[in-house]
Structure 1
Amino acid sequence: MKKNILITGTSTGVGFESAILFAKEGFKVYASMRNLEKSNTLQQKITEENLNIEIIQLDVTDNNSIEKAVDYITVKDGKIDVLLNNAGAGFAKTLEQSSEEEIKWVTDVNYFGVIRTTKAVLPKMREANTGHVINVTSVGGLVGQPFNELYCGAKFAVEGFTEALASYVSPSFGIKFSMVEPGGIATSFMENAVAKTVNNNGEMATGDYAPIFQKYLEGAQSRATSENTSPYQTGKEVAEIILEVAKNENPPLRIRTSEWAENMCNLKTKSDPDGTQLVNQVKEYFL
């Protein structure tokens, strides 16, 4: 039977590439995005290549939007085999200079959005005693980085959230959980993150942090142009890893998507690279 997948954040980047790859692999793809006005590029690809992709509206910050999308899919197909929580947003700004609104926004998009969509699909997956939730996190979910404390905090939260679910939902109801942890992605993601630090005059709003932030930007630009140490992958390269995880009968709990990402997290992951040992230990302690 053909499997279907719900993907969030498919207007660009990893989500866009994932929708195409999964469709070519034979999945029925529900490609969701907050703003359907940004669907033209994907729709053109669907038409050109006759892909089995249906574009639907879903805003991860809006419960009603999520419930409507999930209900639509389950009524139409009776199931959701895979949920790919890809929607997210970068944010590079100091805590001191972040407004309460920005703090809530970055947490809402990157963490609460994952909770909402996961909660919406779990009942159907539990009834079917099968399913796979794949969360795109980041090396920033394992390693705190300069000017990314709010983003990293949200991604750390996703990591803990996913680990906890895997410790009891997986063995009890056959639902798999995975976290895909890229380094940098060569899309507009980083540009959008840094844009948050610009004030109304187009100047970097970093105040006393300006010299450190300048050094941070120079380092990011240097790494981006380095052939040997660049953390940046294309959206398609990351999407290919996600597809392999989804096809795996025994998928890893966590996986980095590049050598750079692996090296970045090595001190935290070398004793248990895919997270399986830790989850098994937690199950022994508590269940």
Structure 2
Amino acid sequence: MTDVALITGTSSGMGLHAAVELARRGLHVVATMRDVGRATPLQEAAAAAGVEIDVRALDVVDHEAAARLVAEIEVELGGIHVLVNNAGQGSVATAEQLSMQQIQDQLDINYLAPVNLTKLVLPGMRERGNGRILTVTSVGGTVGQPFADAYCGAKFAVEGFMQSLAVVAERFGIRVSVIEPAAVASSFVANVVRPEEGGPYAALLGAYVSRTSGAFANAQTPESAGAAIAASVMSDEYRFRWQSSESATAFAGVSLADLDGERVLGFTRPWIAAS
């Protein structure tokens, strides 16, 4: 039976290319997006690659809809063997410029949505004794950055959740990992939530935007990032932490000496060892 991969956020960018690459590797890919009317680029990319993609609607912040979708896939396709939590949204603003609702929105899509989907697929994976869960975080999940307070906070949170889960899930044959892209040339930037111009932070924000624009001018292609996502989730080598490019590895290394996550997992594994 063909393994089934569920991947979120596939209407464009690295999620689109990761979905196509996973299908090329022989998986039945259920690719989700909020509006299936935007599926044409994915379908065209799949056709060009000679693969088929199972496109379904999902707003990842709708937890009840996510539960219904997972249940449908379990019945129709026999289970979910791979989950790729890719959907996300950025935010460019510092604390004083953010409303609590904007902070909540960042937590909803970047933290609570992947947590919910992970919870939903765990029972089936545990019962089958195998599964792979990969969450696309960011170098912003390892290095806090100016004017990314809410975004980095949510990405730090989801990395902490997944790292804590990893050694427990491992006991049931389930691999839990994260992958940290740096700048990727995609519509992600266009969807970033930004504050109104002006105010006491205007000069600082201007400098940040100028620097960031330069980084995205030399960004990793979405094709390359998507291929890295697929390669990470399908690798025979297990690592908790992956990066999508050499530049992402260098960036994450500013904060992390433990680049593949094994040091932390090796430290925490004995905490759940039977006496």
Percent sequence identity is: 37
Which 10-residue stretch deviates more, 92-101 or 154-163? 92-101
Q: Where in structure 1 are there 5+ consecutive unaligned residues? A: none
Amino acid at match of 1:30: V
Report the 3-state secondary structure (helix = DSSP H, G, I; strand = E; otherwise coil) of the residue aligned with 1:208: coil
The question of whether the paired residues in 2 share the 8 Å contact of 1:14 and 1:239 is answered with: yes
Alpha carbons 2:20, 2:49 under 8 Å: kept = no
Contact kept in structure 1, 2:85 and 2:134, CA below 8 Å: yes
Can you list the C-alpha shifts for 1:178-221, whole angstroms capped at 9, x where unaligned?
1100001111212321xx2254xxxx2x5100000011111112
Residue 260 of structure 2 corresponds to which residue in structure 1? Answer: 274
Equivalent runs, 1:191-206 vs 2, <5 Å: 191-193=190-192, 196-199=193-196, 204=197, 206=198
d(CA) in 2 for partners of 1:72, 1:50: 26
SS of residue paired to 1:268: coil
In the alignment, what sits opposite 1:211?
A: 203
Paired residues for 1:29-48 under 5 Å: 29-47=29-47
| Amino acid in structure 1 at the alignment position of 2:83 | L
1:44 and 1:177 mapped to 2: Cα distance?
31
Within 2, Cα distance between the matches of 1:89 and 1:258?
20
Task: Report deviation, 1:46.
Answer: 3.9
User: Which of 233, 241, 244 is 1:254 aligned to?
Assistant: 241
The normalised TM-score by structure 2 is 0.94
For residue 58 of structure 1, report the CA deviation from its aligned partner: 1.4
Q: Determine helix, strand or coil for the equivalent of 2:83.
A: strand
- CA separation of 1:238/1:49 partners in 2, compared to 1, >3 Å: closer, same or farther? closer
Higher mean Cα deviation, 87-96 or 45-54? 45-54
Aligned partner of 2:172 in structure 1 is: 173
Task: Give the CA RMSD over aligned residues.
Answer: 1.5
Whole-angstrom CA distance in 1 between matches of 2:67 and 2:22:
23
2-structure distance, mates of 1:215, 1:223: 13
Indicate conservation of the 8 Å contact 2:141/2:156, yes or no.
yes
The AA in structure 2 aligned to 1:187 is S
Alpha-carbon distance, 1:47 to partner:
4.6
